[in-house]
Amino acid sequence: MVNRIKTYFLLGILTLILIWIGGFFGREGLITALILAFLMNWISYFFSDKIILAMYRAREVKENEEPYLHSVVAKLAQSAGIPKPKIYIINSATPNAFATGRNPNNAVVALTTGILQLLDENELKGVIAHELTHIKNRDILVATIAATIAGAITFLARMLQYIAMFGSMNRDDRKGGNLFALAAILLFAILAPIAALIIQLAISRSREYLADEGGARISGNPLYLSNALRKLAYGVNRYPMRNANPSTSSLFIVNPFSGKSILNLFSTHPPIEERIKRLERMYV
């Protein structure tokens, strides 16, 4: 509950920042920011899952195609106390998985072909239980909205930076009347993307630990997931997902980029070693 409150608080801060940026453009800018914030939240709520699945060319797998996989998901979903989600497959050698959807009744678990080939039965149960915990806790919707707003803040901050450097807000700028405002805009244009990223990191890392713990309980053994994480870390380093979008990387169970990638400096995931240690402590 505490983590949920903190997450919603951070989302509220992001929305206020977006509106504050719009205020620099006057009344029209404020109204535009309010409309933009509403549209982003509405699109994220109703279409985030479809956008992400299309982005990775995921294909829905029916029960007659993969009866065993559907059986595993159904049993774990029953243990989690949620409806059985749809199952999608992504044609990628990178072993990974994510869940998406606005609520447990409209949820999807997506698995790559690589993860199905790499993990054994128990390890796959640990991964699926992790994703079902995200669905149960409604983490995916929160993370998607946070990513959307953060992306908008970054975009608007860049626009403000260009305005501060190459343009003027109004005719009084030449007289120095808006020098302070221009300085504030320039400073915020630099700091806003950093602040948005930090908030995303805070949301993603806390929810990953909670999903690990919940997944261990749902699957019945925390070692299922800890063993899976070891294999996934090795698999991603060997077969990084080169076409992954950085804005969606936080959705995956492990960072889809190679450990050698500079993008890992801004990883939205906690260290796998720490996740494994926490899971192993649950087993003792």
Predicted confidence (pLDDT) per residue in 181-190, tens digit? 667 667 777 7
Q: How confident is the model at residue 166 (pLDDT cuts 50, 70, 90)?
A: low
Q: pLDDT by residue (tens digit) across 223-239? A: 999 999 999 999 999 99
* 232 closest CA partner among 211, 253, 214, 212: 253
The pLDDT value given to residue 223: 97
CB 7 within 8 A of CB 203: yes
The yes-or-no answer on residue 60 being catalytic is no
Q: pLDDT by residue (tens digit) across 4-42? A: 565 567 667 667 776 776 776 677 777 887 787 777 767
Residues of the chain with pLDDT > 90: what percent?
44
- CB burial of residue 108 (10 Å; 0-12, 13-18, 19+): buried
Q: How confident is the model at residue 263 (pLDDT cuts 50, 70, 90)?
A: very low
Backbone CA torsion sign across 150, 2, 229, 276: positive
The pLDDT value given to residue 261: 47
Residue 281: φ, ψ to 5°: -65, -30
The pLDDT value given to residue 178: 59
The pLDDT value given to residue 262: 45
- CB burial of residue 63 (10 Å; 0-12, 13-18, 19+): middle
More confidently predicted of 26 and 255:
255
Q: Is the pLDDT of residue 206 over 60?
A: yes
Catalytic option among 131, 213, 274, 280: 131
Q: How far is CA 170 from CA 26, 156, 161, 162, 184, in A?
A: 11, 18, 16, 15, 16
How large is the average pLDDT for residues 175-186? 63
Which residue has 């404020």 as its token pair?
A: 30
How large is the average pLDDT for residues 70-81? 97
Name the average pLDDT for the chain.
81
How large is the average pLDDT for residues 239-264? 73
* 253 closest CA partner among 168, 129, 72: 129
Residues of the chain with pLDDT > 70: what percent?
70
DSSP 270: -
What's the alpha-carbon Rg for the chain, to the nearest Å?
A: 21
Non-local (6+) Cβ contacts of 49 within 8 A are: 100, 101, 102, 106, 107, 108, 140
